Amino acid sequence: MPGDVITRRGFMGLTLGAASTALTACARDSDPMTSVDAILAGTCEPPPPDGTCTVTAQDIEGPYYLPASPERSELDTVGDEGVALALSGVVTDASCTPLLDTIVEVWHADPSGAYDNSPTMNYRGWVRTGVEGIYAFTTLVPGRYLNGDTLRPSHIHFKVWRDGAPVLTSQIYFADDPQLDDDPWAEPARTVCLERDGEGVSAVFDITLA
């Protein structure tokens, strides 16, 4: 839960739990590719570095978190059709010092907007930062799904685990997604640009812990 204090050993213990076997069915976008096209058609430009590190805000965990994800950086394990996404960033403290040996865990919907709760745990995983505080995942751009009568924008959930510190639970969004304005949780500070990268796209999201 957000705000809990846990050690890395405690996190590892959580990963021993068994996942349920159901694929979560959501009411989804009828054409998931339209969100990627709309995002890439926008005018987003990453802000220039200003030498400061603002603590990353919490966001809702959502209903689809599972505590048994595997350690891996490649999240599309079944070869779905979609737009390849390279997501990376640096985890720092508020003084901009990179944080070594910090766990970054992510989970998100598949390109059609469904969450996988099966033992495969597709689009779920975690990595540990190195000496420069860097984390990196390769995956596919998540699809959108209905929250009530409104499509949620494409987003990636994440948790950050560090010894003796509160667990950060939040979400990453993509600038120029047409559903951002209607979403009650999306905020500019947690919105990143998608940039074309070969046949796919890339995004950079730096995380700052208190």
Q: What is the mean pLDDT of residues 45-71?
A: 90
The structure tokens 């420069």 sit at 132
CA-to-CA separations, 121 to 2, 92, 103, 200, in angstroms, rounded: 22, 28, 18, 23
Q: How confident is the model at residue 2 (pLDDT cuts 50, 70, 90)?
A: very low
- The whole-chain average pLDDT of the chain stands at 85
Rg of the chain on CA atoms, in Å:
16
Q: Residue 27: what pLDDT?
A: 55
Q: Please give the sequence-ordered ranges of beta strands (E in DSSP) within the chain, or none if there are none.
A: 23-24, 84-93, 103-107, 115-116, 124-128, 134-140, 146-147, 150-151, 155-161, 168-174, 191-192, 195-197, 200-204, 207-209
Element (H, E) at 40: helix 33-40
Residue 27 vs residue 208, higher pLDDT? 208
Q: Which residue has the higher pLDDT, 47 or 28?
A: 47
The pLDDT value recorded for residue 49 is: 75
125-135 CB burial, b ≥16 within 10 A, e <16: bbbebeeebeb
- pLDDT for residue 21: 39
User: What digits encode the pLDDT tens for the residues 146-192?
Assistant: 988 889 999 999 999 999 889 999 999 999 898 999 999 999 999 99
Q: What whole-number percentage of the chain has pLDDT above 70? A: 80
Give the pLDDT mean for 20-46: 58
Q: Does residue 19 have a pLDDT over 70? A: no
| Ranges 28-37, 56-65, 98-107: which has the least confidence | 28-37
Q: What domains can you pick out in the chain, each with its CATH number?
A: 8-209 (2.60.130.10)
Q: Which of 133, 116, 123, 111 is nearest to 200 (CA)?
A: 111
Q: Encode burial over 33-49: b for 16+ CB neighbours within 10 A, e otherwise.
A: eebbeebbeeeeeeeee
State how far the alpha carbon of 60 is from the alpha carbons of 64, 65, 159, in Å.
11, 11, 11
pLDDT at position 29 is 56
Please check whether residue 92 is in contact with residue 206, taking contact to mean a CB–CB distance below 8 angstroms.
Answer: yes
| Spatial contact of 190 and 172, defined as CB atoms under 8 Å apart | yes
Residue 48 pLDDT greater than 90, yes or no: no
5: tokens are 């204090």
CA atoms within a 13 Å half-sphere pointing along the CA-CB vector of 15: 18
pTM: 0.83
- CA–CA separation, 210 and 202 (whole Å): 26
pLDDT surpasses 80 at 3: no
46 has a pLDDT exceeding 80: no
